[in-house]
Chains A and B, each alone.
Chain A
Amino acid sequence: MLTRRHLLASTSSVLASSAAVAALGGPAFAQSGATIKIGAILPSSGILGSYGILYRSAIQMAVEDINAAGGINGAKVELLAEDDQAQPNQSVLLFRKLVNDGAAFVVGPVTGTSWENTAPIANAMKVPAICWTALKSGISRKPYALRIHPPNDTMIPEGMAEIKKIIPNLKRIVVVGDEREASTSEGIKLWAAAAKANGIEVLETIGFQTGTTDFSPLAIKVRGHNPDALFFSALGPPALALVKEMETQGFDKPMVGDSTVWAGGSFIQAVGSAGKNLHTLGFSTNETWVGNDKYNNYVQRFIKRTEETTNLPRPINVCNTSLAYDAVMMGADLLRKGGVNGSTAPAAARDAVKNGLDGLKKYDGVNAITMRDSGDGHIQAHVLKAAPEEKIWKFVLPPDQRLNTPATPMKL
């Protein structure tokens, strides 16, 4: 029979053990069956739901590969994935939750605004976070919050240089974009700056707000300028509305978006004929990469797995999912090298990842990533073109004609 004394005693012991665990930096991995927990923050619902579902497949595949290869120093990996709906406040709350749940490191969140808000928290809590997306520059925070995706300060100048090669007569452009989202807000300014640096006249820069429902007034304004091309920076859903409206308005000049439209699980499948003059920036596609078996193997396995486990529209867009895979593999490698196993306390495991990230100059995963002093990765960006009938992105230039000179990070 449960007496008041028993209840008091057991409550006291729970409180005491909780205090001890808190003092030691969270629950030891051994308490949960000797697994090492990896956190992931990504939207699996909301307007960027398809992005998260796509990336989660890559992350899950990485976890499966790690466990199939024997885990990390004998300990299996457990994925704790949380849906932040691409809302920055949720990203921060879920980061704290994952820390309390004992994650050795966290991958994500996905958007620039979320990353900008989460990176300082990662440092304050001394928990490593590895972001594989987000484009706004200057928001990674060493030593705990690193991003392996190249930000727009290198992608856009590299892309603009290649665009000049592809469209040599480019003289006058209009730049539009979402001014509320962190990455796209900076993207607008970087497109304009890169254009000017390449001797291209920017006729007007037009901003809109996340949630804009009707792009026809904007499209009429753009059409009125009669530019040689439209450059834009917007997440998938508003970008889709924009390019469809431009088509409806009879705009048949090139449209160039930054890599926000390259990524995601549904944009390229939904764009249809509006994508016939559409370009973006990226560094990988569904196409076979001649001579890169590691990449081709990833693409083949990723597409198969994602087709089997999700109902995303076909064909599955590979885009930068390999970076999500690499983010998990990188963290696991650092845990392995740091001697972390199933009985290591989270604080020690987090230190191992942080120390590894601190000295990281290059990472050879599916992608060859060079780490910059800013805590961001660099991979050379190239211009991709939508193939609306096949519903995939393709490189515009063959490998031997692509520009491969890394850009000096552009300052605004």
Chain B
Amino acid sequence: MIADQIVNGVILGSMYALVALGYTLVFGVLDKLNFAHSEVFMLGGYVGLSWFALGAPLWASVVVAFVICGLLGLFVELVSFRKFTGRDAQITASLSSLAVGIVIVDLVQKHWGSEPVSLPLPVELRTAGFTFMGVTFNWLKLGILGFTLALMAGLHVLVSRTALGRNIRAVADNPTSATLMGVDVKRVNQSTFFIASALAGVAGVLLAMRTGFATSDIGLSFGLKALAIMGIGGMGDLRGAVVGGLLVGLLEGLAFQFGLGRIADIAVWILMIFVLLVRPAGLFGNATARDVRA
């Protein structure tokens, strides 16, 4: 049973990591927190669900959520971050993104209602699996894990091996120097928002597939945990987001296993307090650098 919880914790943690990566990517580049990110993630679930309900295949629902949430990310960048470029505008930009997030929640509730909406996945698809060495594996969840890991690997390649990635790292390191070297900072910011938000949208669909429904309060609960995971891993550090996500997923699963279910949902916050006390810059961060490391 512990092995079951560990496998499940890894799957859950990978989804936390996917959302946390978006937070950390934007923070690494802009040095600002995008509080609308968790609501973009929430919207992803509804977008995927709606397309699936219209008869689109699952993969198409994921693609549509990727595109729509990516575009929404561009909108967030435009209204909440484009004008607020200075270091003294950190709070203004973050507050503006918080407001955008609240508007997104309100619009979702107006359109889909305030209670969970079911994703009409065939029950066979959600329950099919196999048992190996006493551990139960669910095909859908394994698929979600595989897809999530592939996305994270893709992001790693993009940031570390491509021209766009080099530009992202240059802007994260020093926007002024990057501009002097001919990097289009505005374009890099837009690309970063698109990628971060698109990944969040995909995470939203994957979570809806995993749980069987979409709900408008998931941004506040699941999304905020991803924010804490960024703090645990180290602000702006992609490795930290992945490790932090997996740690929290495992911790939550094992908390239930050992009779501590009532604190499972706050485990992430307890872990964050503990990690920040020991390492104020997070597991992979340091006190001064906030650069994006692939």
| CB-based contact B264/A212 at 8 Å | yes
Please tell me if A236 contacts chain B, counting CB pairs below 8 Å.
Answer: yes
Q: Mark A189-214, 1 if CB is under 8 A from B, else 0.
A: 00000000000000010111101111
| CB-based contact A244/B265 at 8 Å | no
**What's the least CB distance linking B291 to chain A, in Å?**
31
Known: A221-B1, A248-B126. A179 touches B114 (CB 8 A): no
| CB-based contact B136/A250 at 8 Å | yes
| CB-based contact A217/B8 at 8 Å | yes
Known: A207-B261, A208-B265, A213-B221. A241 touches B213 (CB 8 A): yes
Known: A245-B211, A250-B136. A50 touches B114 (CB 8 A): yes
Q: Which residue of B lies closest to A216 (CB)?
A: B8
| CB-based contact B116/A211 at 8 Å | no
Please tell me if B225 contacts chain A, counting CB pairs below 8 Å.
Answer: yes
Please tell me if A356 contacts chain B, counting CB pairs below 8 Å.
Answer: no
- Considering only residues 212-258 of chain B, those with a C-beta below 8 Å from chain A are 212-213, 215, 217-218, 220-222, 225, 252-257
| CB-based contact A49/B252 at 8 Å | no
Q: Which of A109-117, A270-278, A287-295 contacts B (4 or more CB under 8 A)?
A: A270-278
Known: A47-B217, A209-B266, A248-B212. A217 touches B115 (CB 8 A): no
| CB-based contact B221/A224 at 8 Å | no
C-alpha spacing A207/B263, complex, angstroms: 9
| CB-based contact B262/A236 at 8 Å | no
| CB-based contact B114/A244 at 8 Å | no
Q: Which residue of A lies closest to B263 (CB)?
A: A209
Main secondary structure of the interface of B (DSSP, over half): helix
Please tell me if B9 contacts chain A, counting CB pairs below 8 Å.
Answer: yes
| CB-based contact B5/A217 at 8 Å | yes
Q: Mark B123-152, 1 if CB is under 8 A from A, else 0.
A: 100110100000010101000000000000
- Considering only residues 211-240 of chain A, those with a C-beta below 8 Å from chain B are 211-218, 220-221, 224, 236-237, 240
| CB-based contact A207/B262 at 8 Å | yes
| CB-based contact B1/A47 at 8 Å | no
| CB-based contact A270/B116 at 8 Å | yes
C-alpha spacing A50/B225, complex, angstroms: 27
| CB-based contact A247/B213 at 8 Å | no
Q: Mark A274-288, 1 if CB is under 8 A from B, else 0.
A: 100000000000000
Residues of A within 8 A of B12 (CB): 214, 216-217
C-alpha spacing A208/B217, complex, angstroms: 17
Interface size on A, residues (CB 8 A): 43
| CB-based contact B256/A221 at 8 Å | yes
Q: Which residue numbers of B lie inside 8 Å of A, CB to CB? A: 1, 4-5, 8-9, 11-12, 109, 113-118, 120, 123, 126-127, 129, 136, 138, 140, 210-213, 215, 217-218, 220-222, 225, 252-257, 259, 261-262, 264-266
| CB-based contact B126/A206 at 8 Å | no
C-alpha spacing A236/B221, complex, angstroms: 17
| CB-based contact B126/A220 at 8 Å | no
Q: Mark A39-60, 1 if CB is under 8 A from B, else 0.
A: 0000001111110000000000
Choose among B115, B120, B126, B266 the residue that contacts A49 (Cβ–Cβ < 8 A): B115
Residues of B within 8 A of A46 (CB): 114
Choose among B123, B126, B136, B265 the residue that contacts A209 (Cβ–Cβ < 8 A): B265
Q: Which residue of A lies closest to B1 (CB)?
A: A224
| CB-based contact B211/A211 at 8 Å | no
C-alpha spacing A157/B180, complex, angstroms: 75
Q: Which residue of B lies closest to A274 (CB)?
A: B212
Residues of B within 8 A of A248 (CB): 126-127, 138, 140, 212
Please tell me if A266 contacts chain B, counting CB pairs below 8 Å.
Answer: yes
Known: A220-B1, A250-B136, A272-B120. A208 touches B115 (CB 8 A): no
Of listed B5, B113, B115, B259, residue having the most chain A CB within 10 A: B115
Q: Mark A107-141, 1 if CB is under 8 A from B, else 0.
A: 00000000000000000000000000000000000
Choose among A211, A224, A244, A266 the residue that contacts B115 (Cβ–Cβ < 8 A): A266
Q: Which residue of B lies closest to A212 (CB)?
A: B265
Q: Which residue of A lies closest to B218 (CB)?
A: A213
| CB-based contact B114/A270 at 8 Å | no
**What's the least CB distance linking B271 to chain A, in Å?**
16
| CB-based contact B256/A45 at 8 Å | no
C-alpha spacing A226/B117, complex, angstroms: 29
| CB-based contact B120/A211 at 8 Å | no
Of listed A215, A216, A265, A272, residue having the most chain B CB within 10 A: A216
C-alpha spacing A273/B9, complex, angstroms: 25
Known: A45-B109, A237-B115, A250-B136. A220 touches B8 (CB 8 A): yes
Choose among A212, A217, A218, A240 the residue that contacts B213 (Cβ–Cβ < 8 A): A240
Residues of B within 8 A of A265 (CB): 115
**What's the least CB distance linking A369 to chain B, in Å?**
28
**What's the least CB distance linking A39 to chain B, in Å?**
22
Q: Which residue of B lies closest to A176 (CB)?
A: B261
C-alpha spacing A247/B126, complex, angstroms: 8
Choose among B115, B136, B138, B222 the residue that contacts A50 (Cβ–Cβ < 8 A): B115
**What's the least CB distance linking A47 to chain B, in Å?**
6
Q: Which residue of B lies closest to A240 (CB)?
A: B116
**What's the least CB distance linking A251 to chain B, in Å?**
10
**What's the least CB distance linking B264 to chain A, in Å?**
7
Known: A213-B221, A221-B261, A270-B117. A244 touches B256 (CB 8 A): no
